[in-house]
Structure formats: structure tokens, C-alpha cells
Structure 1
């Protein structure tokens, strides 16, 4: 009968232990990566990021308008909205056009910060708060700069997340 010789070389033994450990770590890493990729919290985080990007862009669009590019600006407003807000913008478009053409103003908005305040992925509803710096330039005079916080409600549509409501966030101490 043949006997299997056991090696007493410590380098071979160490190499075997390291190989087994590396294989175990690779297996554990693969399982962990698979679980992370199929975790509902990862999908939720991705949706939250989509909501924030759409909300910030829509709020910026709604606070940017140039009398020289009026059609493009008002189209941007309509493209950013859905529901009652969209309907109000479409129905009031003629009045907005007249006001801006008479005032000959240019308003530009820059997003300073934004946050998702609520997200119901199943219902397709979300809320955002966006801090903006809006600069309004009249034909004569210096630009007026104002910083504000806006609260927006978003609804998921077939074209992505759109603003369904927009208003000023309360400022200051409201405690009585």
C-alpha cells in the first residue's frame, strides 16, 4: 500500500491556509455584493436620488425666466409640472406672457441645497425642500438677489418625477 506523505514545510502549510482564507473571503464578498444589489434599501436610495435631482431641477426651472426667451422658459415650466400645478400654468400662460413682456425682466435661479423631505415610492409621491438664490434683473437698475426656501411636492409620471405643488417654506420662529 502506498502512503501519502504529509509535508512538514511551514511555507506550504501557510500557502494552503491563505488559499482557503482567500477563497472564503471571495465567496463572502460575492454573496454580500449580490445581497446589496438586490436589497430594497438600495433601490429606495436610488429613487430618493432621482427625486432630489428632479425636484431641484424643477424648482430651478420654475424660478428662471427670461423675457427674451419667454416661450422656452414657459415650456420649461410646463415640462417640469403635472397635475393641478401644470393645469394652472397652462391656463395662466397668456397672463404670464403679458406680465413678463411688460416687465422685461430676467430671473435666474441657482440651487444652493436640496433635500428629500418625504418619499412614498409605492404611491409615487415625494416632497423636497430646495434652497435657492434667485437674481432678478430689470431693464434698468441693479440686479436684485434673494435667497429663499421652496417646498415642492412631486408625483411620479410616465416621464419621471414632476412637480405637482410648489410654495415658499415658512421662515423664522413660528412658536407662539
Structure 2
């Protein structure tokens, strides 16, 4: 008499589930590897790094306390590179005289910021930062001003630094 082989349905299901799990694990691993080595992820990280450094640098350059003048001016210099850095270093004595005479405290708060351009390979970026700056003089009420600043960043061995900074145009320029 011939023997009929019967298959255990539980064993078949277990083998099928194991195969499906192996395929899913392989696909998940590949997807994770691919995402980690994707150029767009590296570009997004460079953009985020430039924005964070740009916002901090613009805030630093708009914050200065006459009672902590050396610390504030050091922060200005640490936040900059290139021509802007040289201008700050060369003008330091004049800044000290002006701030000591005025006895003011300027405090900047970043309201928002955006990267306007990024050339990651060249190590150049542009940012626009909206600020609220409060200037307090020894007498009178604090003056509050909101402004938009445009900055150019250069990547250095110490990270992104401001290489240029100016006021952004405000209002309708259409004639």
C-alpha cells in the first residue's frame, strides 16, 4: 500500500511567515541604508546647520550689554569670518567708546529665519532672519524694533560663520 504524505498546515504557515518576515527585514534594512546615504538627507542637514548658525550669529551681532562689553564683542568676532570679521576687529575700539558712552543694553530675539540659498559644496549660504531688538538706555523706556536681516554665511573649520550682514528691504518696492 502506498503511503500518502500529508502536510502540517501549521508548519506551512510558519515557513511562509518566516519567508515574509525575512523579505520585510531585508527591504527595511535596504530602505534604511538607502535613506542614510541619500544626498537629500545630507543637504537637508547642511541647510538646518546653516540656518541654526545664521540665526545665532545674527542674534549675537544684535545683542550687546555695556556692562559685559568684552564678552559681547568677543561673541561678535566668534560669529563672523572674512571681511565682516576684519571690520569688527578693526572697529572694536570705536564700538567700545560708543557703547560705554551710551551705556545701552541691546537684546535680540529671533522671530523666524530661513535659508535663502545654499551651495553646500562651496560652503556658502544665505539667510534671512526676522528679529525683535530691544534697546534699553539708562534713562527712559526700552525701544523695541523689529527688522529683517540678510546674512551671507561661509563654512569654516569651526562651522558656519557670518561673512556679510545687512538690512533686508521692507515694504512695497513696486512703483
TM-score (norm 1): 0.94
Count of residue pairs brought into register by the alignment:
174
Q: Which residue of 2 aligns with 1:36?
A: 35
Q: Distance in 1 between matches of 2:124 and 2:42?
A: 16
Q: CA deviation at 1:46?
A: 1.0
Q: Which residue of 1 aligns with 2:78?
A: 79
Q: Which residue of 2 aligns with 1:144?
A: 143
Q: CA deviation at 1:174?
A: 1.1
Q: Which residue of 2 aligns with 1:174?
A: 173
Q: Which residue of 2 aligns with 1:69?
A: 68
Q: Which residue of 2 aligns with 1:165?
A: 164
Q: CA deviation at 1:40?
A: 1.1
1:1-176 counterparts in 2 under 5 A?
5-9=5-9, 11-176=10-175
Q: Which runs of 5+ in 2 are unaligned?
A: none
Compared with structure 1, are the counterparts of its residues 4 and 100 closer, same or farther at alpha carbon in structure 2 (3 Å cutoff)? Answer: farther
Q: Distance in 1 between matches of 2:170 and 2:48?
A: 26
Instruction: Indicate the SS of the match to 1:142.
Output: coil
Q: CA deviation at 1:12?
A: 3.4
Per-residue CA deviations over 1:90-137 (Å, capped at 9, x if unaligned) read 111111111100000000011111111100011110001111111100
TM-score (norm 2): 0.94
Q: Distance in 1 between matches of 2:134 and 2:98?
A: 18
Computed over aligned residues only, the root mean square deviation of the Cα atoms, in angstroms, reads 1.6
Q: Which runs of 5+ in 1 are unaligned?
A: none
Q: CA deviation at 1:19?
A: 1.9
Instruction: Indicate the SS of the match to 2:146.
Output: strand
Q: Distance in 2 between matches of 1:94 and 1:174?
A: 37
Q: Distance in 1 between matches of 2:156 and 2:90?
A: 21
